[in-house]
Structure 1
């Protein structure tokens, strides 16, 4: 599978995992302290070929995404579910631990970021479905992020991410129905 966009990853091990999964070029951020030179490379890549951001599903990975989103708006974002990025020993979370199939699926489902901040889903919707502040809120947000291919977020970030990726009220409703049905069947 050939990817025309350049994939932004955190480090060398992530590059190896991506190249084992797909035919693609990468830019490595070398951690969460992204320098001006790397940001300039990402800007050039976005203008010439497009960019897909694929970072670890953890705090530093989210920090990198946020920096790139602020400095280089309009990139695509690919998300690996945590269960796909956990090491065999369970002590490390990262792109380098994911299978080639999981990486291909995440890249296939990459979502375009949007500057358009139209309200389609309200914060009241998040409260009503127990995505904020409930005992199962974290688990529900994680599953919702997997279903909508927007990654895991905390309560504050969820609303922003739903808007950022233009998730419609219908898409949200269908995904939350699945989440609640899965809970019933547990």
Structure 2
């Protein structure tokens, strides 16, 4: 079983259990989206000493937690699972706790660091031109792009911000768009 050096930030106890089924790692639990100052200080200390990987649920509260941490603790790595990967067999709920060990390992392996100071390479017009904002199928294409680039599922505005945060180059973006268009053709 792989040992992870960084401390993984998750939402709750069930997420920690799922992480420990997949890898050997320490976690910090935010106890939901009401993340308090004490937890933020723990995350900052963890980032300063060992590094942090944020792995939250692919839903609105998970995005909110990720945003709070990004604003307060720069330089954290981010790992993502898709809604489909976090869905239980019963179909009720969604989250890291329902992801398989293989999915969690894959997400952690693909973790990337954000950088708010990144140079803007991809414009909103590029997103429109690629069919990622507005129009039929844009949501599905954004979901595929998020998986390919390992930046998670987003709405149009969030996609623009994440491409910048994760320093996605024009070249990587174009390759991902080409892959999505090829998959649409093949379908």
TM-score of the superposed pair, with normalisation by structure 2: 0.98
Distance in structure 2 (CA, Å) of the matches to 1:96 and 1:134: 34
1:107 and 1:80 mapped to 2: Cα distance?
9
CA contact (8 A) 1:32 1:63 kept: yes
Name 2:43's counterpart in structure 1: 42
Cα separation, 2, equivalents of 1:107 and 1:117: 23
Deviations 1:39-76 (A, max 9, x none): 00000000000000000001000000000000111100
Task: Please give the residue correspondences for 1:27-38 in structure 2 after superposition, counting only pairs within 5 Å.
Answer: 27-38=28-39
Q: Distance in 2 between matches of 1:119 and 1:71?
A: 22
CA distance in 1, matches of 2:152, 2:108: 13
Q: Which residue of 2 aligns with 1:68?
A: 69
Is the 2:145–2:176 contact (alpha carbons within 8 Å) kept by the matching residues of 1? yes
Which stretch has the larger CA shift, 113-122 or 25-34?
113-122
Post-superposition offset of 1:117:
2.8
- Which runs of no fewer than 5 residues in structure 1 stay unpaired? none
Checking the alignment, whether the CA contact within 8 Å between 1:53 and 1:78 is kept in structure 2 is: yes
- 2:158 aligns with 157
Q: In the alignment, which residue of structure 2 is the partner of 1:85? A: 86
Give the gaps of 5 or more residues in structure 2.
none
- Map 1:164-179 → 2, pairs under 5 A: 164-179=165-180
Native 8 Å contact 1:74 1:115 kept in 2 = no
Structure 1 residue 12 corresponds to structure 2 residue 13: yes
Deviations 1:83-138 (A, max 9, x none): 11111011111000000000000000000111323111111100001100111110
Secondary structure of residue in 1 paired with 2:145: helix
Per the alignment, residue 117 of structure 2 pairs with 116
Separation of aligned partners in 2, 1:117 and 1:20: 35
Q: Secondary structure at the match of 1:81?
A: coil
Indicate the RMSD between aligned Cα atoms, in angstroms.
0.6
Q: What SS does structure 2 have at the residue aligned with 1:80?
A: coil
